[in-house]
A and B are shown apart, each in its own frame.
Chain A
Amino acid sequence: MSFKVLLPESEDELMTMLMYDNAELMAGGTDLLVRIRAGKVKPDKVISLAKIPDMDEIVDKGDRIRIGCKVTHAMALNSEIVQRNSPIMVLALREIGSPQIRNRGTIAGNIVNASPAGDSLVPLYLSNARVIIHGPKGERKLPIEEFIKGPGKTALSMGEYLRAVDFEKTGDWYPVFHKVGQRTALAIAIASLGMLIKKDKIRIVFGSVAPTVVRAYKAERFYERVNGDITVMDEFLERCLEYLSPIDDVRASAWYRKEVIKNLLKRTFDSWRKRVL
């Protein structure tokens, strides 16, 4: 493990360094340093964001919230803006790692990791998040679903970095987040489910059951068509399960992952019905 650590002090400097060969950007390092230790990546240079000022903003943008790329999970959890307007984000971030990991790991790092098990991605997909990218050609914005291309793959090109993410306030929805792991702590999700529910509207997102986090649009439209009256649970479930393409791996079988999602969906609707009735 021998690499140089670069500490740019401005975004301009950062952009120049991102053009270097075999250099990796680092925010909290909770993923990158672990991958370096495991020998999975062997960068010559690690570019740390530590000395760049002003990248840790959490801003109320009217109907959206903007979060800078140095905002850690703990900072977002402690933010009144997030607590008030995105209970779904709070539910998901609480499930990430441990206090130590939440004090260091960033939401931006979780996004760029592009893992189907990334816990912050579930609320971000549910809240129509947009990723704000800075690079040599200026700024561009992409919906998160277009930004994340596959496991570990994003739309970032050479010299670009994720500057911030913004997402809808969803304080008036009923939030649901379930994560199934092998043990409660430090576990990567085997399957996860996030939902925002209203009487006649719904948003549904699955984690860890497809190559990326996925949003079940067809099931959302079905729910709207029947005005939230899903007495025909099976038809609704069918439309949800279309989005799952789980894999068998060391953590769980595909069959198990599907069953977990089915049961979580059923359980959620049971408690939702009790709430509404």
Chain B
Amino acid sequence: MKLELTINGRVHSVEIDPGEMLLDVLRRLGYKSVRRSCNSASCGNCTVLMDGKPILSCTTFAARAMGHNIETVESLSEDGKLHDIQESLLETGGAQCGFCIPGFVLTTKALLEENPEPTEKEIREALNGNLCRCTGYESQIKAVLNITRKRGGHVNE
């Protein structure tokens, strides 16, 4: 079937199989920031934003994305300049191998849009579906707290 997908504001017209997952279609279109690891809704690495909300692309039919805005990390850094979430992760060492980072960045973006001054507890809750094999999470949580601080928000520690 033919499908129109809006990804990072750009409309793509793609031929898909009705059973195809959004993850496969995104990677086929070149959005390689969207990572596959567990392929079964457990690790959060394949997270993308659908209308601003984090969802798992490995277990969402591509057809389901029709009429919605899909956002991947490719949209974040303009002209090679990193987004402040990405910057902050680099500063705290929250990005090691980097595999989990795209999903992590998008989930954080959605959190901060909904709640610009999250507490540490709220950050942990929001990010508990994004698994990381490298960091032990502390540096990632710290990165998020730092973003709030840098954006001029109040940090409740």
Contacts and interface: CB of A to CB of B under 8 A. Distances in A.
Contacts of A5: 18-19, 61, 63
Contacts of A29: 59-61
Interface string A18-49: 00000000000110011001100000001010
Interface stretch (B25-33, B35-43, B71-79, B148-156): B35-43
Interface string A71-107: 0001000000000000000000010011111011000
Nearest to B44: A100
Contacts of B110: 99
B128 A74 contact: no
Contacts of B12: none
A252 interface: no
Contacts of A7: 18, 63
A155 B107 CA distance: 38
- B interface secondary structure, majority: mixed
B141 interface: no
Given A5-B61, A37-B39, A104-B60, A185 B55 contact: no
A184 B127 CA distance: 11
B69 to A, nearest CB: 14
B59 A33 contact: yes
B53 interface: yes
B61 A48 contact: yes
Which of A5, A46, A48, A50 is packed against the most chain B CB atoms within 10 Å? A5
A156 interface: no
A174 interface: no
B4 to A, nearest CB: 16
Contacts of A33: 40-41, 59
B128 A185 contact: yes
B56 A100 contact: yes
For the side of the interface on A, what is the size category? 20 to 34
Interface string A174-189: 0000000000111000
Contacts of B18: 4-5, 7
B129 interface: yes
Contact of B129 (A1, A37, A48, A98): A98
A94 B122 CA distance: 11
B102 interface: no
B128 A30 contact: no
Contacts of B107: 99-100
A100 B55 contact: yes
Interface in B38-66: 39-42, 44, 47, 50, 53-56, 59-61, 63-64
B40 A34 contact: yes
Contacts of B88: none
A186 B128 contact: yes
Contact of B44 (A38, A94, A98): A98
A214 to B, nearest CB: 28
A101 B41 contact: yes
Contacts of A101: 41, 56, 129
B146 interface: no
Nearest to B57: A100
Given A3-B19, A97-B129, 15 more contacts: A2-B19, A5-B61, A7-B18, A33-B40, A37-B39, A46-B19, A50-B63, A74-B53, A98-B129, A98-B130, A100-B44, A100-B56, A184-B124, A186-B42, A186-B129
13 contacts: A1-B19, A5-B19, A5-B61, A5-B63, A7-B63, A29-B59, A29-B61, A33-B59, A46-B19, A99-B126, A101-B41, A103-B55, A104-B55
